[in-house]
Amino acid sequence: MSNQNQDPVFAIQRTYLKDLSLEIPNAPQIFLETNQPAVEIQLDVSSQGVADGIFETAVTVTVTTKVGDKVAFLVEAKEAGIFEIRNVPEEQMPLILNVVCPNVVYPYLRANVADVIQRAGFPPIHLQEINFEALYQQRLQQMQQEQKPGIYVPN
């Protein structure tokens, strides 16, 4: 029997909160502040093979909120998913791992971040929707620009 007749498989095995950290370095005084806080958000996506046909994709976010020069709170969270991916052409794997899988994981991350911020005594911050395809394309372009002239980087 040939492998060419096997159908592609994409299955979510599980999603889970892999890491969560909350710091409120200026409590309790920060709760007395009346000025509007400034919010900075950093996002990252990573993937790795776990076993044959099994992959983990993680989305990591860091939310730093400051009032003036004082940090109100800092949240770092990593939500991950384990996916079974088989019989998919190799050239499609980066798109699946960097776009499709993060789209599955990200809503769980958004909910966990909003929940922990609210439980810490602050109004929840609802992370905006992310276009992971655009983010992936930006990263590809950045990698291509960083390559030395004459080195081929596949699209």
Query: What pLDDT does residue 5 have?
Result: 62
Query: What pLDDT does residue 151 have?
Result: 46
Tokens of 26: 């200026």
Q: Nearest 5°: phi and psi at 70?
A: -95, 135
Length of the chain: 155
Interatomic CA distance for residues 95 and 2, integer angstroms: 26
What radius of gyration do the chain's Cα atoms show?
19
**What's this model's pTM, rounded to 2 decimal places?**
0.86
Report CA torsion sign: 134, 136, 138, 140.
Answer: negative
Kindly list the structural domains of the chain, giving each domain's residue range(s) and its CATH number in brackets, ordered by start: 8-146 (3.10.420.10)
- Of 154 and 20, the structure prediction assigns the larger pLDDT to 20
Interatomic CA distance for residues 111 and 106, integer angstroms: 9
Q: What is the pLDDT of residues 61-119, one digit of tens each?
A: 999 999 999 999 999 999 999 999 999 999 999 999 999 999 999 999 999 999 999 99
Interatomic CA distance for residues 58 and 15, integer angstroms: 9
